[in-house]
Amino acid sequence: MLAKAILIFLSLIKYTTSITPPIQLNYIKTSATDPYFHDEHNRIRIFHGINRMHKAFPWYVNDSDIVLEDLQAIGINIVRLGWFWSGFNPSPGVFNATYLHIIQRQVQRFADHGIHTLLDMHQDVMSSKFCLYDGVPIWVVDKSIPRHPFPWPLTGNCSSRGWMINSLSEAAAKAYQDLYDNTNGMLDDLAMFWSTSASNFVNNSNVIGYEIINEPFAGDFYQDPSILIPGIAGSKNLAKMYEKVASEIRKQDDRHIIFYEPVTWGMIFDNKIIGSGFTQVPGGDSYRNRSALSFHYYCSTFVPGYDKLPKWRKDLCDSTVAPLVFSAVKKDIQQIGGAAIMTEGLSCPNDIGGQEECHIVQSHLDQQFLSWTDYADSQNYPFAPNDALKTLWSRTYARAIAGNPRNMTFNPVTLDFEFCYVPNVSIKAPTEIFIPKTYTYRNGFEVSCDVGLICIEKGDVLLVTEEDVKGESIKCVRVKSK
């Protein structure tokens, strides 16, 4: 009997010691002095990621470990995860603990594969009352009383027009305005949703932050046509919404990054009229190191009929409009502070053809060391992007930079990569360059590092440290396909 008890005890020890403890990623912050994300070592961090959404009950997807391992293999280190208001707050004062626990488990599973989570309150045209889904709970939207029944002045039924057109109905536009104006407490409801959310994630470092609302519309342009001008919409409506919600979040959580969006057509120029309209990050200058502008770039947003354009017109659009957008983003965050991330807009196709826009946008992002989360395949379950899409996502990049970045380029045809930076010797953690072997360098690769750098390959990551670096010298790392 004693021998049996000892065997059971030893087996329990073996079992408990074999369990891998949950991974806790480190908190990410922004900076009061530069436009980048930073980690606990003060390295500049760049994130490549995807969106995962389920825009209906039960308001979540449940990806397998095989999928997560695949994401890790192609360099994905962030997921913009739908954190749905209707899922967590289905009725007034009621918060769904089961949904919360499911999302918390998903966040942990992403972290176990080295992936941070951005919690995104996703909505599109607010509500099922306006032909879509209840991104904003129906009990909140019911507080907005339309002057004319939906879809006035539009005609037809939901299947007769594109989903975005529904924003132009008076009922939908007024519902957005009522949210911004806190009509019948609608903005209070959003603030309570986020305050309660923050109280449950405040100590979770696997969460990079909270995106207050996806693609907010301008508001009631029937009453005030000027708000269709993006800078005016930003200054009159969106800014006051973000200030209110951020102040409630900060009562619960003063550490995580708050992500905020302009109207989707707002980032083509940087000024108070044709721009975001923001003059500060939510909460003011003291929150520059905990704020990030979330923007979307789809050339189709700025060019009506984009999908029907010939290829040369699309290429022209992406070579002319894209530089304006990325320049506007850069200037905006230089003025108001914080970092920026493109949370939708690579337009990477799930096929071999039509990849030019994806490559063009990725190049612009690389040039400014900007992070991104692509929207392709975001609602598919099971999540099964084909090899063409995985290859587009699988891009060599410097994901952690111990210094001041100067140049980063990747040629998707030759697979040549170059990264140059001024090392910061006070940062003891290495620079990390992700080099994807599975989908990019199938035949192997060669690395060359400038004199003064030590490069050590560890799996799909190249660890770069400095040896005898003096002064402000620029050092480069290059990767070539064999």
- What percent of the chain lies above the pLDDT cut of 70? 90
Mean pLDDT of 180-184: 98
What single-letter amino acid sits at 261? E
Q: Helix 97-111 and helix 65-73: axis angle, to 10°?
A: 40
Please indicate, yes or no, whether residues 159 and 305 belong to a single structural domain of this protein: yes
What single-letter amino acid sits at 421? Y
Whether 213 is in a domain gets the answer yes
372-422 pLDDT, tens digit per residue, is 999 999 999 989 888 889 999 999 999 999 999 999 999 999 999 999 999
Angle at 380 between CA 378 and CA 386, to 5 degrees: 90
Task: Determine the pLDDT at residue 445.
Answer: 96
Determine the Cα–Cα distance for residues 220 and 181; give it in Å rounded to an integer: 11
Instruction: Answer whether 437's CB lies under 8 Å from 464's CB.
Output: no
Confidence of residue 271 (pLDDT cuts 50, 70, 90): low
Q: Which tokens in the block code for residue 17?
A: 């010691």
Q: State the pairing for strand pair 78-82/48-52.
A: parallel
Task: Determine the pLDDT at residue 15.
Answer: 37
What single-letter amino acid sits at 320? T
219-237 pLDDT, tens digit per residue, is 999 999 999 999 999 999 9
Confidence of residue 2 (pLDDT cuts 50, 70, 90): very low
Please indicate, yes or no, whether residues 123 and 251 belong to a single structural domain of this protein: yes
Confidence of residue 357 (pLDDT cuts 50, 70, 90): confident
Q: Which tokens in the block code for residue 326?
A: 């990325």
Lowest mean pLDDT among 169-178, 264-273, 439-448: 264-273
Confidence of residue 268 (pLDDT cuts 50, 70, 90): confident
Angle at 196 between CA 191 and CA 199, to 5 degrees: 125
Chain position carrying tokens 């587009």: 392
Determine the Cα–Cα distance for residues 324 and 188; give it in Å rounded to an integer: 36
pLDDT at 144 over 90: yes
What is the spatial order of strands in the sheet that 453-458 belongs to? 37-38, 44-45, 397-401, 431-434, 461-466, 453-458
Whether 444 is in a domain gets the answer yes
Q: Which residues contact 313 (CB under 8 A, 6 or more apart)?
A: none
Average pLDDT, the chain: 91
Neighbours of 152 (CB within 10 A): 13
Whether 57 is in a domain gets the answer yes
Instruction: Answer whether 103's CB lies under 8 Å from 122's CB.
Output: no
Q: How far is CA 49 from CA 19, 375, 376, in A?
A: 28, 9, 11
Instruction: Answer whether 56's CB lies under 8 Å from 316's CB.
Output: no
Determine the Cα–Cα distance for residues 439 and 437; give it in Å rounded to an integer: 6
Determine the Cα–Cα distance for residues 319 and 316; give it in Å rounded to an integer: 5
Q: Which residues contact 320 (CB under 8 A, 6 or more apart)?
A: none
Please indicate, yes or no, whether residues 291 and 404 belong to a single structural domain of this protein: no
Q: How far is CA 41 from CA 78, 265, 304, 450, 454, in A?
A: 19, 36, 45, 23, 19
Whether 6 is in a domain gets the answer yes
How large is the greatest C-alpha to C-alpha distance in the chain, in angstroms?
A: 85
Whether 55 is in a domain gets the answer yes
Please indicate, yes or no, whether residues 290 and 276 belong to a single structural domain of this protein: yes
Task: Determine the pLDDT at residue 160.
Answer: 95
Please indicate, yes or no, whether residues 208 and 303 belong to a single structural domain of this protein: yes
Whether 37 is in a domain gets the answer no
Whether 38 is in a domain gets the answer no
Please indicate, yes or no, whether residues 350 and 230 belong to a single structural domain of this protein: yes
Chain position carrying tokens 């170059």: 418
Task: Determine the pLDDT at residue 17.
Answer: 40
Number of structural domains, the chain?
2
Q: What is the CATH number of the domain that holds 470?
A: 2.60.40.1180
Instruction: Answer whether 340's CB lies under 8 Å from 47's CB.
Output: no
Q: Helix 239-252 and helix 186-201: axis angle, to 10°?
A: 40
Task: Determine the pLDDT at residue 272.
Answer: 66
pLDDT at 108 over 70: yes
pLDDT at 13 over 60: no
Domain boundary pick from 360, 395, 430: 395
Domain boundary pick from 364, 395, 426: 395
Beta-strand ranges (E) seen in 154-309 are 207-211, 257-260, 291-296
Q: Which residues contact 104 (CB under 8 A, 6 or more apart)?
A: 200, 201, 204
Please indicate, yes or no, whether residues 335 and 406 belong to a single structural domain of this protein: no
pLDDT at 336 over 60: yes
Task: Determine the pLDDT at residue 183.
Answer: 98
Lowest mean pLDDT among 15-24, 252-261, 333-342, 434-443: 15-24
Task: Determine the pLDDT at residue 4.
Answer: 41
Please indicate, yes or no, whether residues 391 and 442 belong to a single structural domain of this protein: no
Confidence of residue 304 (pLDDT cuts 50, 70, 90): low
Mean pLDDT of 94-104: 98
- What percent of the chain lies above the pLDDT cut of 90? 79
Task: Determine the pLDDT at residue 384.
Answer: 87
φ, ψ at 481 (rounded to 5°): -75, 145
Task: Determine the pLDDT at residue 14.
Answer: 41
Confidence of residue 298 (pLDDT cuts 50, 70, 90): confident
Please indicate, yes or no, whether residues 315 and 448 belong to a single structural domain of this protein: no
Distance of CA 120 to the CA centre of its chain: 8
Please indicate, yes or no, whether residues 445 and 383 belong to a single structural domain of this protein: no
Determine the Cα–Cα distance for residues 52 and 259; give it in Å rounded to an integer: 17
Q: Which tokens in the block code for residue 94?
A: 């009621």
Determine the Cα–Cα distance for residues 274 and 263; give it in Å rounded to an integer: 11
Q: How many helices (H) and strands (E) does the chain have?
A: 13, 18
Neighbours of 162 (CB within 10 A): 7
Residue-level length of the chain? 482
Task: Determine the pLDDT at residue 469.
Answer: 61
Domain boundary pick from 395, 422, 454: 395
Task: Determine the pLDDT at residue 172.
Answer: 98
Lowest mean pLDDT among 313-317, 459-463, 475-479: 313-317
Please indicate, yes or no, whether residues 328 and 422 belong to a single structural domain of this protein: no
Task: Determine the pLDDT at residue 136.
Answer: 98
Whether 36 is in a domain gets the answer no
> For residues 212 and 354, which has the higher predicted lDDT (pLDDT)?
212
Q: What is the CATH number of the domain that holds 294?
A: 3.20.20.80
Instruction: Answer whether 155's CB lies under 8 Å from 166's CB.
Output: no
Task: Determine the pLDDT at residue 305.
Answer: 64
Give residue 467's domain range: 398-482
Instruction: Answer whether 177's CB lies under 8 Å from 233's CB.
Output: no
Please indicate, yes or no, whether residues 124 and 214 belong to a single structural domain of this protein: yes
Determine the Cα–Cα distance for residues 457 and 463; give it in Å rounded to an integer: 6
* Cα-Cα-Cα-Cα dihedral sign, residues 307, 312, 316, 319: positive
